[in-house]
Amino acid sequence: MKVVFIGGGAHRYLPVARSLLSEQALLNRQFKLVLHDLAPERMALMREMIVHCPEYTGSGAQIECEAVLDRALEGADVVTIVIMPGSRHSFALSCAACGQHGFTGTDQLSPSGAFLALKGGPVIMNIARKMEKLCPDACLLDFANPVPVFSAAVNNHTKIKCFGVCAGYTNHQWDLTRILGADCGCDDYHILSAGVNHMSFILPGSTRGTDDLYRLIDQALADGWRMPELSARWSPWMKQLITNSVTTLVELYRKYGYLLFSSEPEGLQYLDMAGRYVADAAQSAKFDEAKIAEEMKQNNDQKQRTADYWQSLLNASEFPREVWSREAPENLDLLRDDQNIMSRIIKAVGGVKEMAIAASFPSRGAVPGFTDRMVLEYSQFIKDGQLHAAENLYIPPVFYGLMAAMSMHQTLLGDAVATEDPRLLFDALYSFPVKQDSADAKALYIKLLKINAAEIPAVFQQTADWLNR
């Protein structure tokens, strides 16, 4: 079995590689992992870390670096993509522009997320079209945001099966357990969910073990619920983020009667437009050139610190084996992650066992009220390499209008990405369900066209003609 990691130097790949190398069923299929990255030093560092992990020893697996994309893709069974399209500078400017016009700026459900899709679209579509020739039966796992847009583009415009995957897949395993009183992950949840990525909903019929999940949550909240103490696994910044997210999940459950599947702050804010959404829009607007430069530096410094830490481990006279299991903030990218959505899908495609997942994919009859090509995030399972939607999925009626608009926005944006049609981009932007067709929206979209002009296909500048009418 051949698996290709595009953006193969990304640190988040190491827990996935460890998980795959632990599965004898994959190793029995002459398992080969190929790393492809535009930065050869990052790619080489990742390979060295993989071959030093405990699962690699005696596995017989091949771990290769390949700088030429076509050679990397040839004969692949699964291809994964972890990239940040475009420059961080233009993305930060886009987020700031969103805030200045009363929108929140993010990499997913937002105008800045839409323009991120335009930057990554040519890359994703190039990979998918190469796959049609070099590995037509392979599936594509896209981790690059906005994942629903790229899933819609690839699935509706090529023959390649593409899952939009998100690290938030495992959030519920921690967040639900925290609501129930403990700061730990639990993989004994059986979840039915439907919605859009970063804003999907856990449906009745979900369980923890054999217990009804909603009944357990109601019991936990009945007697003055409080946030459990968080462990030393988390940095102070992460503790604050986790506390805010989980308390918001509880607050929204008490208000709407539904649990959210994942606790990304971006999705939560759309259910509190007068509060969190407005606050996040104001925060986006605070960015200035100096702030953008400082945030870019901090991001690059963090990546360099991780790379330096890994290199120090490799340079040690004897590799410290204990780091592979030590739960500490600087070590989380080293820990094996069997519940990672990429790990689960790759194992399922490789025939290890049936796997339950949640991923962005066209509805194709899975969720009533949505056309086949409209992209949603929903519960699915993979068995013998075949995808099956879970049964009894639906969008809670109170959220149906919002979900339909978000899904159509992302689907139309996928069409624009795949065809590079400026009119379809106008349709996609118009359908975004915040300040629809307002003066603020039109001014923002024209500004975003200018900010991102050097990084998106030139044809999209024609979209301004429709915005100005």
Q: What is the pLDDT of residue 91?
A: 93
> Could you tell me if residue 448 is inside a domain?
no
Domain assignment present for 333 = yes
Asked whether the predicted pLDDT for residue 385 surpasses 80, the reply is no
The answer to whether residue 189 is domain-embedded is: no
- Identify the pLDDT of residue 272: 87
Tell me which long-range contacts 424-428 makes (C-beta under 8 A, separation of at least 24). Answer: 425/118, 425/460, 425/463, 426/463, 426/466, 426/467, 428/114
Would you state the structure tokens that stand for residue 429, as one six-digit string?
Answer: 């932007």
Domain membership flag for residue 143: yes
pLDDT (mean) for 3-8: 97
Cα-based distances in Å from 94 to 12, 63, 149, 416: 25, 38, 18, 19
* Residue 65 domain-assigned (yes or no): yes
Determine the average pLDDT of the residues in 386-414.
95
For residue 397, CA distances in Å to 53, 195, 279, 400, 403 come to 48, 11, 27, 5, 10
Domain assignment present for 37: yes
pLDDT at 294: 84
Q: By the 8 A CB rule, do 169 and 258 touch?
A: no
Q: Which domain holds residue 11?
A: 2-86+111-165+325-337
Q: How many structural domains compose the chain? A: 1
Q: What's the whole-number mean pLDDT along residues 362-372? A: 96
Question: In which band, very low, low, confident or very high, does the pLDDT at 299 lie, cut at 50, 70 and 90?
Answer: confident
Q: Is residue 209 part of a domain?
A: no
Residue 421 lies in a domain: no
* Residues ≥6 apart with Cβ < 8 Å to 74: 134, 135
**The domain spanning residue 19 has which CATH number?**
3.40.50.720
Beta pairing, strands 62-65 & 78-81: unpaired
